[in-house]
Amino acid sequence: MKLQLAYKQTDSQKANSLEYIITNAVANLSRVQNLTEADRQEVLGFLKLRPVHTVVMTSFIHDNGLENPNNRGIFYGYKNLAGELEGVALIGHTTLVEARSEDALIALALKARESETPIHIMMSDGNSIESFWQYYSNDKQEPRLVCEERLFEIKHPVIVQETVPGLRLATAEELMPVAIAHAEVAFEESGVNPMEKDCDGYLKRVLRRIEQGRVWVVFNEDKLVFKADVIAETTDVSYLEGIYVNAEDRGKGIGANCLSQLSRVLLEKVKYVCLLSNVDFHQAHNAYLKAGFKFKDSCVTMFV
């Protein structure tokens, strides 16, 4: 969805209109502030209003706090004249935005222009990230890649599928097969192999996730058959990413059975399990639906 400007005439008029909006919004930057641990409860309360859509930011705060290099960016908040939060964003490598007013969206987009950490991904719910991008880029550049995503969700009651023997948490000794599988999934989604771009940093991040007890696997002897990462987790939601099934085992129902079983385990402590998937990954969607997931929403992911 493209930004609806005040009037729709020539391209020149559209550009001038966008420039006018941005110019008049610059003053709102004064309402953007770096968030600190002193803001923790206010920010978590703001994000909790939409727990599924904000699970990643909330999990980062629980895992790392609001000020931590592991966030690979900086948390910012936008407050209106009454001093109430209208927007929260993590601006950095993965830029995540929860804006509940146009003023907040514009101001946070302008703040993103100042990011010292190179931005690789931009995400928000629905199509609002497209408007965020227009404000951020002033319509003068295009993202490297734009992916429409489907949000899938599962909650109780859960359909019980065939039990998969051997579904368990990965160990540190299994770092390499897990990292290689996750890199394959990342490359398929973004066109970038993280093992080639920043191998040491990438392996450290995968190892940390394993040590946090968030990587689930099934091995057949030495072969990794299935993998799924709990990228983010709150008291309400577990968010899955990096779902991998070995090429030799695809089309056999293994992925659906593993996801169904994993969801039952995770739903013992959260209300929802959710995941995002590229709109073009039809075979994967069939597995998610078979596992009991339901399509709930759409969003756009931009690779910068």
Bridge partner list, 65: none
Pinpoint the alpha helices (H) of 194-277.
Answer: 194-197, 199-211, 254-266
Domain around 34 = 11-142
Co-location of 158 and 285 in the same domain? yes
Last residue of a domain, one of 113, 142, 171: 142
Co-location of 199 and 137 in the same domain? no
Q: Where are the beta strands (DSSP E) in 139-264?
A: 145-154, 168-169, 215-220, 223-233, 237-245
Contact in structure between 229 and 209 (CB atoms under 8 Å):
yes
> Is 60 part of a structural domain of the chain?
yes
Is the pLDDT assigned to residue 62 strictly greater than 60? yes
> Is 216 part of a structural domain of the chain?
yes
Co-location of 162 and 294 in the same domain? yes
DSSP assignment string, 35-83: --GGGHHHHHHHHHTSTTTTHHHHHHHHHH-SS-GGGSEEEEEEE-TTS
* pLDDT-based confidence at residue 27 (cuts at 50, 70, 90): low
Other Cβ atoms less than 10 A from the Cβ of 69: the count is 9
Co-location of 290 and 166 in the same domain? yes
Structural domain count, the chain: 2
> Is 147 part of a structural domain of the chain?
no
**167: nearest Cα among 221, 209, 227:** 227
CATH of the domain at 283: 3.40.630.30
Is the pLDDT assigned to residue 33 strictly greater than 50? yes
Is the pLDDT assigned to residue 13 strictly greater than 70? no
Last residue of a domain, one of 142, 171, 206: 142
> Is 2 part of a structural domain of the chain?
no
**C-alpha Rg value of the chain to the nearest Å:** 20
Co-location of 90 and 180 in the same domain? no
| Average pLDDT for the chain | 92
Co-location of 207 and 284 in the same domain? yes
pLDDT in tens, 167-222: 999 999 999 999 999 999 999 999 999 999 999 999 999 999 999 999 999 999 99
Distance between CA atoms of residues 63 and 59, nearest Å: 6
> Is 303 part of a structural domain of the chain?
no
Co-location of 158 and 88 in the same domain? no
Co-location of 201 and 115 in the same domain? no
Co-location of 204 and 169 in the same domain? yes
Co-location of 133 and 251 in the same domain? no
Is the pLDDT assigned to residue 10 strictly greater than 70? no
pLDDT in tens, 63-111: 999 999 999 999 999 999 999 999 999 999 999 999 999 999 999 999 9
Co-location of 159 and 112 in the same domain? no
Co-location of 120 and 175 in the same domain? no
Last residue of a domain, one of 142, 166, 183: 142
Mean pLDDT lowest among 5-14, 189-198, 269-278: 5-14
Other Cβ atoms less than 10 A from the Cβ of 97: the count is 25
CATH of the domain at 49: 3.40.630
Q: What percent of the chain has pLDDT over 90?
A: 85
